[in-house]
A and B are shown apart, each in its own frame.
Chain A
Amino acid sequence: MLEVRQVVKRFAGRVALGPLDLVAETGKNTVLIGPSGCGKSTLLRLLNGLLLPDAGSVSFAGDPVSPATALGVRRRMGYVIQDGGLFPHLTARGNAALLAGYLGWTRTRIDERTAELAALVRLPEDLLGRYPAQLSGGQRQRVSLMRALMLDPEVLLLDEPLGALDPIVRSELQEDLRGVFRSLGKTVVLVTHDIGEAWFFGDVLVLLRDGTIAQKGTLDDLMDRPADPFVTRFLNAQRSPVR
């Protein structure tokens, strides 16, 4: 579904990512994990063309991701960031329906889809009329997910979607999020620095280090057959018991 080939990204002349190859398989959850500054968010932004590679290529469903194709590609990929990225001047409903409205969907179609998604992400419908400033962090993330899912995209990209939430809200939302992923069967690429969260969501874990892939595999692969001492060190650094 998503394929990255020999991609290199530089910032101010310094290589931040790559050269790197990665395939995100259709219907699977791929989790990008690693210490901060390892390039995981950069890699995610390359997937929907928010960043363009300095070398190599990114392709989506066989077509290259480029400035010319970016608009179309993005409409087939939902994108959720840490604090939700909701537009403060629009209500929850307005945020979710912004693109659909621009594309000329009828009112009825938008309302139906919004109700459907609110049920899916377990957001009470009476909150749809509220502005982001009137919603809690968890509620904002649910709205952000609705916005990402509005056009029923094939891919979901999530950049630390739960990073700003307190532990209780976070674990509740983790459950709901996994439920959504499972019921929809979408191709998901999720960025986190939390190994527990990676294990919770990930079919495939991709551990990044200094812009390259240190190891790719299941958590068992990483724990039992670490590619190098860094992998073990990274896993052990997180104290929470994961199994």
Chain B
Amino acid sequence: MRRALFALLLVAGCGARPEVIVGSKKFTESVLLGNMAEQLVAAAGLEALHQQELGGTRILWDALLAGEIDLYPEYTGTLREEILAGERIAGGDDALRAALASRGLRMTGPLGFSNTYAVGMREERAKRLGIRSLSDLARHPELVLGFSHEFLDRADCWPAVKSRYRMQHRSVRGLDHEVAYSALESGDIHATDLYSTDPKIQQLRLRVLEDDLHNFPPYRAVFVHRADLAPAAAAALARLQGVIDDREMIALNARADLDKVDECEVAAGFLARDLRLAARPCAEAGLARRIWDRTVEHLFLVAVSLLAALIVALPLGVLSAKRPHVGKVVLGVVGVLQTIPSLALLVLFIPLMGIGALPAMAAMFLYSLLPIVRNTATGLGDIAPGLRESAEALGLPPGARLRLVELPMASRAILAGIKTSAVLNVGTATIGALIGAGGYGQPILTGIRQGDHALILEGALPAAALALVLEALFGLVERLVVPRGLRLEPSE
């Protein structure tokens, strides 16, 4: 609800925004650190908001540059090798700080632990094959490797590992990090990328392969923040410097991931114990309340995007029916829009619209166009020539023919297009959670991250229910909008 309201304010152009907005990526460690930052900043007397699980590195970095968020937890290796890879920063942290400063950014000192990339296998298989290091893995090109998309794409990850160790594996698959664990257990893949602070390493009995040729640079955790961050907030963040070592981080991750303790609680517990921060109650809403809030957010996304699509797509559909040559171009363009992956679309929109509901609705708007434009165009095109001619022969001007005859006759097809868009939108809106738009995608995202099926269902079931409700609702709308004469069976 708060998020939806906030999005509303953003849409309305009011600048009412919390003093400090913390971002975090969509994995547990980042969410934990984000929670710590939020609580420390709040304890320093500033108004803070945590936009959690915003997606991957690119989304967070763009949001930070755009000022949509003020800070987020990052790793020095990621900054150096991925985000600023083009600059080939030599030298130590000072060089990195200089590169950040030129973008109006700063970073805190290291928090203590390092979360390096690693490659892991199930212990028993590794033992059987005698694989201890990445060099050993290179000698087994028959193994199936499954890596997260980020690991596959990052210059310092798979491409670097592949060339340094001369890996010649024939089967290398890209899959979501969370899915990789299940695939590893089921034996569909034999090795995957890991974070070295990942609590699943112990839980699933995985062997971390030694990086014997030293491919991965150190990934020390820091906070990057905007240079214009309030000094009190920067001071609050500095309290985390050097206080979380590797073991501590693994324990915190395990508490959240394996014991399923809410991240906010885990963070608060750590801050109370190690930094003597007065424990602030984590407002954990009840199930009904959570679902209600998500529903409001979700409906908001669906309604606004659908309404905008209606305003644009109906005239486009009419135009396509009246001018078939223009129609081909219009349908081609809205069809191509449909093929752009939603995540790609979201990332394209962030520099223009920031994060939150706006870019999510913009993407949903674009996806909604095709069904409405196409059904409007075919609905109008399918009207029998004799009927169209009869309307013309009456002496009705074109506008009146459209309004009184053609649109009512095409109403059923048009409504079916709108219904398709609405139901598709309910599904598409779940990706909005990746960029802080909330909705049913939020519990789904968290559930996937934590391997918590109940949480996934908490988002997926209401989404399915909403789709069904919309279907039923459109059935009612059809009775109101589609003229009765069109719903009759011929008497003969």
Contacts and interface: CB of A to CB of B under 8 A. Distances in A.
Contacts of A209: none
B394 A74 contact: yes
A35 interface: no
B491 A135 contact: yes
A40 interface: no
Interface string B467-492: 00000000000000001111011111
Given A87-B409, A88-B409, A102-B404, A133 B396 contact: no
Interface stretch (B164-172, B349-357, B385-393): B385-393
Contact of B405 (A71, A77, A83, A87): A87
Contacts of B491: 133-136
Interface residues of A, number: 33
B482 to A, nearest CB: 8
Interface in B405-446: 405, 408-409, 411
A46 interface: no
A88 to B, nearest CB: 5
A239 interface: no
B91 interface: no
Interface in A27-52: 45, 48, 50
A2 B389 CA distance: 20
A233 interface: no
A106 B334 CA distance: 45
A43 to B, nearest CB: 15
B392 A98 contact: no
A90 B389 CA distance: 16
A90 B485 contact: yes
Interface string A45-87: 1001010000000000000000000111111010101110111
B406 to A, nearest CB: 10
A106 to B, nearest CB: 18
A99 interface: yes
B390 A81 contact: yes
A83 B485 contact: no
A131 interface: yes
Contact of A98 (B389, B404, B489, B490): B404
B485 to A, nearest CB: 4
Contacts of A82: 386
Query: Which of B395, B396, B489 has the largest number of chain A CB atoms within 10 A?
Result: B395
A18 interface: no
A131 B392 contact: no
A89 B408 contact: yes
Query: Which of A45, A90, A137 has the largest number of chain B CB atoms within 10 A?
Result: A90
Contacts of A79: 390, 393-394
B393 A87 contact: no
Nearest to B491: A134
A50 B485 CA distance: 27
A87 B390 contact: yes
B20 to A, nearest CB: 58
Contact of B394 (A72, A98, A134, A135): A98
B400 interface: yes
B397 interface: yes
Contacts of B386: 81-83, 85
A89 B390 contact: no
Interface string A107-139: 000000000000000000000000111111100
A9 interface: no
A23 to B, nearest CB: 21
A87 B490 contact: no
B182 to A, nearest CB: 54
A153 to B, nearest CB: 9
A147 interface: yes
Given A89-B408, A99-B394, A132 B389 contact: no
B390 A99 contact: no
A71 B395 contact: yes
Nearest to B410: A89
A45 B386 CA distance: 12
A91 B394 CA distance: 16
Query: Which of A79, A88, A89, A98 has the largest number of chain B CB atoms within 10 A?
Result: A89
A102 B396 contact: yes
Given A71-B395, A83-B386, A99-B396, A88 B492 contact: no
Contacts of B400: 102
A145 B451 CA distance: 71
Contacts of A133: 485, 488-491
Contacts of A98: 394, 396, 404-405
20 contacts: A45-B389, A50-B389, A71-B395, A71-B397, A72-B395, A73-B395, A74-B394, A74-B395, A75-B394, A87-B387, A87-B390, A87-B391, A88-B409, A90-B485, A98-B404, A102-B396, A131-B488, A132-B485, A133-B485, A133-B489
Given A72-B395, A89-B411, 18 more contacts: A45-B389, A50-B389, A50-B393, A71-B397, A77-B393, A81-B386, A81-B389, A88-B387, A89-B408, A90-B485, A102-B396, A102-B404, A133-B489, A133-B491, A134-B491, A136-B491, A137-B492, A157-B393
Kindly list the 6 A-B residue pairs having the minimum CB-CB distance in the complex, ordered from nearest. A85-B390, A131-B485, A89-B483, A74-B395, A79-B393, A75-B395
Interface of B: 386-387, 389-397, 400, 404-405, 408-409, 411, 483-486, 488-492
